[in-house]
Every structure is written in C-alpha cells, then in structure tokens.
Structure 1
Amino acid sequence: MRAPIRLSGLAGLTMLAACTLPESDRTTISTIRFGDTSRPIGVARSNADLAEDFLDITFGLENGETLDGLLRYEGPVRVYMGPNSLAGYRRDLDALLARLRREAGIDIRETDDADAAEIVIEAVPTDQIARFFPDAACFIVPGVENWNGFLRQRDSQRTRWSEQETLTHAVIFLPQDSLPQDVRDCLNEEITQALGPANDLYRLPDSIWNDDNFHGAATSFDMLILRTLYQPEFSSGMSRDEAQAQVVPVLNRINPKGRNLPREPRAPESVAWSSAIETALSRRAGRAERMRGAISASQIAIEMDPTDHRLGVSLLTLGRLNLRQNPVAAAQYFSDAYMSFARQLGLEDVRTAQAGVHLAAMAIATEQYDIAADLADRHVPAAIEAQNAILVAGLLSMKADALSGMGEEEAARETRVDSLRWARYGFGDDSGDLAREQALLAALAAPDME
C-alpha cells in the first residue's frame, strides 16, 4: 500500500511562480523518459542481515499481523492491465516486468486476457480509494476479480493475506486521476509486493517497501528479495523456521557480494517512531498534531542505536512543517536532515537529494546562487537513478534560478526547459501547455503546509 506523493517535498519551488518562457521555447518541450531501468544484480550487504530482512518482509504484514506460511506464486505469473486510463503506462509496466524476469528470475509477463491473469491492474478514482484507505494512493486485494467485486464484499468477507495458503490471484487498484509519478511508483511497489513480500519496513534504507516513500522504483535490494523468494528451496506454506533454515545458504549462492561480509549493527523497527511519523505526514491531522508527531519522531530517532536514516526523515518532515511559519527553523532542519542523510547513506542517495533540493531553495532565497547550482548538479544523478521525475524537475528548476541570479540567462533558459520536460513527465502531459507545469511546480508548497 503506497501513500500519495506529498507535493511539499519540493516546497521551495514557489520561487518559480515568476518564471515564464517565450512562446518560441514551448515547441522545444517533448516527452522525456528515463533510460535503461536495469539495476545491478545483488547487494553488497551481509547475507545474514539480508536473511533477517527476507524473513521480516515475507512473514509480516503492514498491519502487524504475521503469516503462518510463506506466500508466493507456484507457477508462471501473468499480468493484465486494463485499457483506457492506464494505456499510457504500458511502457512502464513492460520495463518493470522485464526487470523482474532479468533481475529476480521470475516467469512474469503481460497478457491481454484478464481471465488468464494472476495479477490484474485496474484504475479507480482516487476519491474511491480514499473511502477505504484515506492515506493510500493504491493497494492490493487478494481473491477478488475487480473493483465491483471488492465493493460487494463486506469487511468481514474480504480475503486477507493472512488467510492465504498460496498466491493465486490478486487485483491492484491504481488511481486513474493522480499524478503520473504516483501511478508509476504504485506500479513498482504494488506489483513487487503482489508477488509475495507483503510487509513494509521503515528500517530498510534501500527499498521501495518502506512507507517513507523515498524510493519509487524497485531497487536491487527488492529484486534480490524476490529472487530469493522464488528459488526452488522455497515454496508456499513453509513455516518461518523452515524458511530460516534455507535462506542464508540460498543467499550465499545467489548473492556472492554478501557472502563474506560481517553483520552490521542496526536499529530495529520502532512502532513508536512509525506511529509518530505517520501522524506527522497524515493529511487528516491538524498542523499542531502533525508538529507533535514530527517532534516525537525526531526524539525517538535520535535515541536509536545506531542512528539511521529515520532521523533524517524526521528532520526533513519538521522542516516542511515549519517552512511557512518559521523559515529560519525550517532551514536549520533541512540542513540537519541533509547532513544526517549524507552521513548515514551518502551523497548519492535519493533521500539526500530530497533534502538537497530544499537546501538549494534556501540558498537561492539568500542569494547564495553558487551553492544552489552545486547542490543541483550533485543530486540530479541520484534523482534520475531513483526515477523521480518531480525531484529531477525541482533540482533543475533550482539550478535555473541560480544561473539566472548569476546573470547566466541563456544557460538558465536551457536549464529551465529541461526542468519543465521532467515536470511534464512527472505531472502529466494533458494540456500541452508549459504554463501548466510551471503552475504545478509553483504550488508544490501549498497542499501539506496548512
């Protein structure tokens, strides 16, 4: 289950409101796409640590339940995606399924026959999804045929993951009227989780199965977990003890990168932190309640042993919540989040890039244009690697403003055009009018700051 993109993630982009492009430049904008989506196979992390992650992901559920037996498909998996409103995402689906075949070794392909599909993808209006899961952009339901079938079931009748003995059929419900970035992220998370790894863990630094939603595309870690799950040593119904006896030997065979690496100390999952950060991010909570949640999350994260990326997530959230009322405090939180991410995850991580775009916005506001341009150049590659078109657009827009502030107007214009190309890919391409992308970018701060 994935939460919607929180537009305030690029809050500083309100400075784009004054930017306009000459009419002649509008014809230079064309649809842009990410390049080769394949990732390296394997993860350079201790196989003993990866084994623990595998067990927690495959035997746990987001609601806290645990599974008695392992779940996976025991034969080829065919995927049907309905026509009409999802037709524009067929290339994204094809790319993901190709990765699952190549990187996870799963026999999975698209079919044009819904009745022959193990996984069906159906578009549903966002407000309908919100009726059942107010903070979710999309979700999976096992054992139903379509949305109407889901609606006909009462709560007590709905098939649950914990009631399955093996995976046979599931439907993924995607928002038909949401941002393209949201839909693409949903495709990645929901299809990979529909294959068996149903749990989300906040402690995971490099996984799409993390409710902090910084990763929108399946990572090498995710593909390794799936490759492990679909090895012949595993089968539906295996107990956790049975799976535990097999998982390290399997990982030693298929993930030589982690074969001789020692275990690393890491903080466990924290129910208290999860509850606090979810309150801080909830659109249903008032600002005061959200602030209390963010402060509590930061305090809990500071006390984790060792401290990890959850501290940066907490600080970044505090910065976003303070941006309008106390920009000076927000700037400090953004800086602290950036340093925390950089220290824990490195400058190449997408979370560091997310904090970096906020710092770039603050640098422009204080006319430190060289710093803003350097931050953009440093983090655009990570945003592209993460396939986050909105983040790419935000970083490039910061660079364009920085170049303009330094008097380099021609370079600023070219960079702004690149930014709007990516904005169109992330926000949609319905109107063909660049003003629409500019207006969306300029409104990024509004939804989450009230």
Structure 2
Amino acid sequence: MKLTCNTPRKGALAHIVATLTAIAVVVALPAAAQTVTRSTTSAADLAATAQGPDRSQLGVYYRQLEQRLVSQGNLRQDRNAGALDAATLARNFMAIAMRTEYGSGMSGSGSAAPLRRWEQPIRIGVRFGASVPAAQQRSDQAALTRVAQRLQRASGHPVGLTNGAANFHVLVLSDAERANAGPVLQQMVPGLSRNATRAVTRMGRNTFCMVIAIPAADPNQGIARAIAIVRAEHPPLMRQSCMEEELAQGMGLSNDSPAARPSIFNDDEEFGVLTRHDELLLRMLYDDSLRPGMSPGSVNQHIGQLAQAVLARG
C-alpha cells in the first residue's frame, strides 16, 4: 500500500506557507494484499459538521495561499513549457516512477521501488461530502472527467468516470468530513491499515491532497485500488492541481523530484497542471516494454531508448 501526499517541504512554497497566518504520496507501507469492495455509503453519511468551504477559516487560508502563489508566478497553467531531451526525460522517469515519495512508516526516505502501474482499466468513482454545494459538485465532476480523458490520452490506458463499481475513489471532503472519514475508508478498503487511515483523517492543513494506491496481491498485476482525497476548501487552481497530480500519481508516478521541470511533480508548486513532460512520463510508464514489478535496475537498462522513442512520437 502506498500513499502520496502533496505537502510543501522546502523552497518558496514552504516559505509562503510558514508566513501565512494560521486560520488553517507514495508512502511505502507493508504490501499486504487488500480486498476492496464498493462502498454504498451515501454522501450524507460523510459527517457534514463543517461550514461550507467559502465560509470556513481553512477556505480563507487556502485562498490566501493561492493568491500568494499566483502573484509569485506559481500554479502555472501552461502545459507546453520548454524543450525536453531524452536524457532529462529518462532521468526524471527514474526519479518519479521508480522511487517512493516516503519510506516505510512515512520517514521521507524516498527509497527506490519497483515499477507500479495499473493493468486493469481505471474506473473512477467520485464521492462528495455533504458540505460541497451542488454547483461545485457539478463543476468538480466535469473537471475530473477532463482529467480522466487527459490521463487516458497520455498513457494509452483506459481511464474514465463511472457510476458503477469503482476501483479508483476520489473523495472531495471538508476538513471535518475528512477527519471523520475512517468508517467510509474502511468500507471502501476493508482492512485498510491504521497508518493509511490516520494519514487521511489526520491530514495537516499543509498537506493539500493525498492518494493511496493499493497493490494487487500479485505484484505483477500492478495497482488494484486507489483512493484520492481532495479538500473541499480549495480554491479553483489548487483544486485543479490536486485533481491532476493525485490522479496521475495514483496511476504510478508516485514520487516528486525537485529536479523535475517543467513538471507538476515538484513540490515548489510552479506548475498547477500536468505538463507535456508529465504526460510523456505517463506514456513511458504504460509502454508495452515495461511491466509491473520491474526493478529500477531492469528499467534503467533501456529507459533512455524508451525516452527517445516517446519524444520522437511527439
């Protein structure tokens, strides 16, 4: 089981977060097999104890943060930013796809890891907390549909939203709803570890969003289930950034790298959308020459050639 948390740890964003007044991955956990069943809990069952996102103190905090980031040239929306070469693309693939953002027990070690991706089609189910207004729900559904379409085009792997049995759950929750979401998480993933559940329910305000990817019992079968958490209090650009980054990381691009640019997989928050660089990484990850469970050493032997091939295809 793996968690990826979008949390500023250093650089300009960490400085911005530290200076704002408080009004407010993939973590490698033991890889035990998980059996996931579809939750029948309704949105009303998610505790609606918080104020609406526009009125909450946390909402004010995130709006201030977004404004500060944008004023400093961050959360960029341009996807085709800068030239790329095969050597850089190959190096960034090894750093982002073949390492974990955190080590076992959330130590932050960023250790090497085998290749992780989905082998089955990705069926995204969206669940909203009762605090999320209907208009925002419609907007988020439309945005997630567009993200899914982009991920499918980039990777060549089937990705789409469903009203049926989902294997990739996206929860849009207020702070209070998220803190009380333990029972819902357990219904979605019976036997979900305490560490993973606590990572969600105890998210600090500077963890903007999170994804949990659950491997199949057989590592060669890749990722079996995933759960992404998006804060209902986020303003538009941060909301979009969370959707794009966490869904892509839930597909197997599990690490962030300070050297990756132009990329959303960089904790400086310069880019708020998936760039061409990131889409090429997804194309590489789902190339037929790779398979789940491959070691970093095996991948590294021919990743340069694969990077050249995907750049040549455009």
Which interval holds the TM-score relative to the shorter structure? 0.5 to 0.7
2:66·2:235 contact (CA, 8 Å) conserved in 1?
no
Which residue number corresponds to residue 79 of structure 1? Answer: 124
Aligned equivalents of 1:167, 1:49: Cα separation in 2: 27
Matches within 5 A, 1:32-71: 44-63=83-102, 64-71=109-116
Aligned equivalents of 2:84, 2:70: Cα separation in 1: 31
Deviations 1:156-205 (A, max 9, x none): xxx9x9x9762110100111233232221110110011000111111222
Which residue number corresponds to residue 192 of structure 1? Answer: 248
- Counterpart amino acid of residue 120 in structure 1: H
Shift of 1:234: 0.7
SS in 2 for 1:255: helix
Which residue number corresponds to residue 242 of structure 1? Answer: 298
Among 81, 88, 92, which residue is 2:139 paired with? 88
- Counterpart amino acid of residue 142 in structure 2: R
Shift of 1:50: 1.1
1:126·1:178 contact (CA, 8 Å) conserved in 2?
no
2:99·2:254 contact (CA, 8 Å) conserved in 1?
yes
Shift of 1:66: 2.0
Asked if residue 101 in structure 1 is aligned to residue 152 in structure 2, the reply is: yes
2:170·2:230 contact (CA, 8 Å) conserved in 1?
yes
TM-score w.r.t. the length of structure 1 is 0.43
Asked if residue 126 in structure 1 is aligned to residue 175 in structure 2, the reply is: yes
Among 61, 69, 73, which residue is 1:9 paired with? 69
Unmatched segments (≥5 aa) in structure 2? 8-61, 103-108, 180-199
1:126·1:137 contact (CA, 8 Å) conserved in 2?
no
Among 211, 234, 238, which residue is 1:140 paired with? 211
Matches within 5 A, 1:366-445: none
Shift of 1:227: 0.4
SS in 1 for 2:223: coil
Which residue number corresponds to residue 226 of structure 1? Answer: 282
Aligned equivalents of 1:46, 1:185: Cα separation in 2: 25
Shift of the 62–111 alpha-carbon distance from structure 1 to 2, 3 Å rule, reads same
2:156·2:283 contact (CA, 8 Å) conserved in 1?
yes
Aligned equivalents of 2:82, 2:124: Cα separation in 1: 27
Aligned equivalents of 1:45, 1:201: Cα separation in 2: 16
Shift of 1:43: 7.7
Shift of 1:257: 7.7
**What is the percent sequence identity of the aligned residues?**
23
Asked if residue 254 in structure 1 is aligned to residue 273 in structure 2, the reply is: no
SS in 1 for 2:294: coil
SS in 2 for 1:169: strand
| Bigger radius of gyration among the two | 1
- Counterpart amino acid of residue 138 in structure 1: C
Which residue number corresponds to residue 385 of structure 1? Answer: none
Kindly indicate which of the two structures has a greater share of residues assigned to helix: 1
Aligned equivalents of 1:219, 1:81: Cα separation in 2: 24
Unmatched segments (≥5 aa) in structure 1? 13-36, 144-158, 259-450
SS in 2 for 1:250: helix
Among 140, 145, 170, which residue is 2:226 paired with? 170
- Counterpart amino acid of residue 202 in structure 1: P
Aligned length: 214
SS in 1 for 2:169: strand
- Counterpart amino acid of residue 59 in structure 1: M
Kindly indicate which of the two structures has a greater share of residues assigned to strand: 2
Aligned equivalents of 1:197, 1:61: Cα separation in 2: 9
Aligned equivalents of 2:166, 2:256: Cα separation in 1: 25
Deviations 1:70-126 (A, max 9, x none): 10001211111125633321121121122122233221111112xx32211012223
Which residue number corresponds to residue 321 of structure 1? Answer: none
- Counterpart amino acid of residue 54 in structure 1: F
TM-score w.r.t. the length of structure 2 is 0.61
Aligned equivalents of 1:10, 1:180: Cα separation in 2: 12
1:123·1:175 contact (CA, 8 Å) conserved in 2?
yes
Shift of the 105–11 alpha-carbon distance from structure 1 to 2, 3 Å rule, reads closer
Aligned equivalents of 1:173, 1:188: Cα separation in 2: 12
2:66·2:238 contact (CA, 8 Å) conserved in 1?
no
Superposition RMSD in Å: 3.0
Which residue number corresponds to residue 439 of structure 1? Answer: none
Aligned equivalents of 1:169, 1:67: Cα separation in 2: 21
Deviations 1:200-237 (A, max 9, x none): 11122210111111211111000000000000111110
- Counterpart amino acid of residue 78 in structure 1: R
Which residue number corresponds to residue 151 of structure 1? Answer: none
Aligned equivalents of 1:182, 1:106: Cα separation in 2: 26
